Amino acid sequence: MKTLKIAIQKSGRLNEKSVEILKNCGLSFENYKSSLISTVTNFPLEILFLRDDDIPEYVQDGIADLGIVGENVITEVNADVEYLQKLGFGKCTLKIAIPNDSEITDISGLEGKAIATSYPVILEKYLQDNNVNAVVRTISGSVEIGPGLGLSDAICDIVSTGGTLKSNGLKPFAEVMKSEAVLIGNKGIELNEDVIELLQRIRSVLRAKE
């Protein structure tokens, strides 16, 4: 049987928990920081360490059979992949936030306003669903400083504790989507005994945590 490939985040918020869940499945591998691929020594599996943004497309295109990534990233790139299992970590919410002193009080108040975000696809869809015409300004990071710089009237960004919003004088205003890390698979994945075994191990690790 062909060696399976699973893509996980190389470094960042999901890396540690992704490695942990695989190790808890009894898989032995080196958690290389410098190389892209690590071979599992006691299971026919290779681990690809990637930027999280690249994971949905790698799995969609079959370069990796499986992947662990945040739902927000999958939705943003519109990846056509199979959702196999929610993993219970990396939980966060994509929210629209406005300055504490903003005069906006409801969604319709965003009409004609500028919103800074790293999630233009998800935000555009949300605005459309709510019949609001706003200007979406796409920036790749530090979205929270947008209003302070006069770049935008609101932001749309990932929130977990809310601390970042608070320290930038912003308040959450509307919830756009909830997200957590999920195990995804290529749509054409063959459910052979290795895949089934791996899925069973992951599910039993999750059950043991409940």
| 53 interacts with Zn ion by CB under 5 A | yes
Q: Which is nearer to ligand PRT, 72 or 186 (CB)?
A: 72
What DSSP string describes 79-134? Answer: ---EEEEE-S-S-EEEEEEEETT----SGGGGTT-EEEES-HHHHHHHHHHTT---
Instruction: State the binding partner of 159 from ligand PRT, Zn ion, none, CB within 5 to 8 A by kind.
Output: ligand PRT
Q: Which is nearer to ligand PRT, 4 or 97 (CB)?
A: 97
Q: Residue 122: what residue type?
A: I
CA distance between the termini of the chain: 33
In the structure encoding, which two tokens stand for residue 55, read together? 């994971």
Instruction: State the binding partner of 185 from ligand PRT, Zn ion, none, CB within 5 to 8 A by kind.
Output: none
Q: Is 151 exposed, middle or buried (0-12, 13-18, 19+ CB in 10 A)?
A: middle
Q: Which is nearer to ligand PRT, 47 or 195 (CB)?
A: 47
Q: Give the dihedral sign, CA 99/101/107/112.
A: negative
As measured in angstroms, the least distance from the Cβ of 206 to ligand PRT is: 18
- Contacts with ligand PRT by CB under 6 A lie at 9, 12-14, 51-53, 70, 72-73, 90, 92, 157-164, 179
As measured in angstroms, the least distance from the Cβ of 12 to ligand PRT is: 2
Q: Which is nearer to ligand PRT, 13 or 125 (CB)?
A: 13
> Which region among 28-36, 44-52, 93-101, 200-208 touches Zn ion (by CB under 5 A)?
44-52
Instruction: State the binding partner of 90 from ligand PRT, Zn ion, none, CB within 5 to 8 A by kind.
Output: ligand PRT
As measured in angstroms, the least distance from the Cβ of 191 to ligand PRT is: 27
Q: Which is nearer to ligand PRT, 65 or 144 (CB)?
A: 144
Q: Which of 102, 108, 93 is CA-nearest to residue 147?
A: 102
User: Which residue from 50, 52, 68, 179 is in contact with Zn ion, where contact means CB under 5 A?
Assistant: 52
| 75 interacts with Zn ion by CB under 5 A | no
| Number of residues forming the site for Zn ion (CB under 5 A) | 2
As measured in angstroms, the least distance from the Cβ of 8 to ligand PRT is: 10
* Three-state SS at 23: helix
Separation of CA 184 from chain center = 11
Residues in Cβ contact with 82 at an 8 Å cutoff, skipping those fewer than 6 apart = 184, 185, 186, 187, 189
